[in-house]
């Protein structure tokens, strides 16, 4: 039975995006109804889902509601809940749509989310709260390589790469080097060095983290490592990750894969953002109203100057 109709971004099939009504079931006793104010667009998983290039993934199918970076306010909560109506929260998606797949379900005006998945945020964070997912992903990468040590080299200076660099300084007190091909993403006056890989003179990195999502970067990274180095793959790769074995063999490279964040990563990211330790400034470059959702996805996926795109849901 339909509990509520709401407006949602729907990937009808690969290559087809619509903004239309979707049906929500009633929240269960452990779930909250959230009114979305802002949602972020992921240029990794959402691009793969829209283009039909997403590898087999639990819950994948069409039509689907994408999105796992939603900030809004609680409208309804269970009796005795820690989240009173009006509480400002981050929601990593929705589970309530009945006429579309919930993968990941966050790009809608109203969403249903399990209470234990929600994170309370200060309202002053506004649209920057959508960055919590990427910050948690960066913290998870740091936890994955904590035995080897902090990242010395980060490959990719998009929003995730910049958050990983900032958190490396916060958590470990050291400044990593970053590789970035796009000159527009190599600003001056940062607290760390950002190079084109060809400009970097070092060949003795001990811990290297790739967040570019390009599996082809492995060979270039391994060639710059010292013996016994650790290489962390922190992006989402839609193609086979291959590398030349002899250089890795000679160096006895340790290869780690970092997947999605865990609950403790999200809570820690929220704490650091809420108290001002983690700076989210200059990461959101574009904000468009929901009635321009198609243009928002096109720009997010195809314009390198768009570091992070946010959809504003407050107008509907």
Report which DSSP code applies to 108. Answer: B
> What per-residue confidence (pLDDT) applies to 103?
84
Structure token digits, residue 153: 């080299």
The pLDDT of residue 315 is above 70: yes
pTM over 0.75: yes
Residue 111 pairs in a beta bridge with 34
Quick one: average pLDDT of 204-231? 94
Binned at pLDDT 50, 70 and 90, residue 108 comes out as very high
205-219, 245-259, 286-300: least confidently modelled range: 205-219
The pLDDT of residue 214 is above 90: no
Please write the tens of the pLDDT for every residue from 138-192. 999 999 999 999 999 999 999 999 999 999 999 999 999 999 999 999 988 899 9
63 preceded by a cis bond (ω within 30 of 0)? yes
48-52, 88-92, 162-166: least confidently modelled range: 48-52
Rg (CA), the chain: 20
In this structure, the number of other CB atoms found within 10 A of the CB of residue 230 comes to 21
**C-alpha–C-alpha distance, residues 255 and 262, integer Å:** 20
With 0-12 / 13-18 / 19 or more C-beta atoms within 10 angstroms meaning exposed / middle / buried, residue 112 is buried
pLDDT above 90 coverage of the chain, percent: 87
**C-alpha–C-alpha distance, residues 258 and 146, integer Å:** 12
Q: Could you tell me which residue, 16 or 102, shows the higher pLDDT? A: 16
Quick one: average pLDDT of 26-36? 97
**C-alpha–C-alpha distance, residues 248 and 292, integer Å:** 47
> What per-residue confidence (pLDDT) applies to 275?
96
Domains and CATH numbers, the chain: 4-120+285-312 (3.90.180.10), 134-257 (3.40.50.720)
| H or E element that contains 40 | strand 31-40
The separation between CA 215 and the C-alpha centre of its own chain, rounded to angstroms, equals: 18
Mean pLDDT of the chain: 95
Please write the tens of the pLDDT for every residue from 246-270. 999 999 999 999 998 999 999 999 9
The pLDDT of residue 1 is above 80: no
The pLDDT of residue 223 is above 70: yes
**C-alpha–C-alpha distance, residues 32 and 77, integer Å:** 5
**C-alpha–C-alpha distance, residues 275 and 167, integer Å:** 14
The pLDDT of residue 130 is above 70: yes
> What per-residue confidence (pLDDT) applies to 98?
96
The pLDDT of residue 54 is above 90: no
**C-alpha–C-alpha distance, residues 177 and 19, integer Å:** 41
50-59, 108-117, 158-167: least confidently modelled range: 50-59
Hunting for tokens 């283009």 — which residue is that?
A: 51
């Amino acid at each position: 039975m339909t509990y509520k109709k709401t407006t949602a971004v729907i990937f009808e099939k690969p290559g087809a995006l619509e903004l239309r009504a979707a049906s929500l079931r009633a929240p269960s006793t452990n779930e909250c109804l959230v009114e979305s104010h802002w949602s972020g667009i992921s240029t990794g998983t959402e691009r793969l889902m829209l283009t039909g290039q997403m590898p087999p993934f639990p819950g994948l199918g069409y039509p689907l509601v994408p999105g796992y970076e939603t900030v809004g306010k609680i409208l309804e909560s269970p009796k005795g809940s820690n989240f009173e109506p009006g509480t400002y929260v981050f929601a990593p998606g929705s589970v309530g749509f009945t006429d579309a797949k919930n993968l990941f379900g966050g790009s809608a005006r109203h969403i249903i989310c399990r209470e234990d998945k929600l994170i309370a945020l200060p309202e002053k964070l506004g649209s920057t709260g959508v960055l919590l997912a990427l910050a948690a992903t960066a913290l998870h990468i740091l936890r994955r390589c904590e035995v080897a040590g902090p990242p010395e080299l980060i490959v990719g200076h998009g929003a995730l790469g910049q958050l990983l660099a900032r958190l490396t300084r916060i958590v470990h007190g050291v400044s990593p080097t970053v590789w970035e091909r796009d000159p527009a993403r190599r600003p001056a006056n940062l607290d760390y060095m950002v190079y084109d890989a060809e400009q970097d003179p070092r060949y003795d990195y001990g811990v290297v983290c790739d967040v570019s999502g390009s599996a082809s970067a492995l060979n270039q990274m391994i060639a710059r490592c010292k013996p016994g180095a650790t290489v962390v793959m922190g992006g989402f790769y839609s193609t086979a990750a291959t590398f030349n074995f002899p250089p890795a063999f000679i160096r006895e490279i340790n290869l780690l894969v970092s997947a999605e964040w865990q609950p403790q990563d999200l809570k820690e990211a929220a704490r650091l953002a809420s108290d001002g330790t983690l700076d989210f400034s200059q990461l959101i470059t574009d904000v468009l109203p929901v009635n321009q959702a198609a243009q928002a996805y096109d720009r997010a996926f195809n314009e390198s100057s768009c570091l992070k795109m946010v959809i504003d849901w407050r107008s509907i």
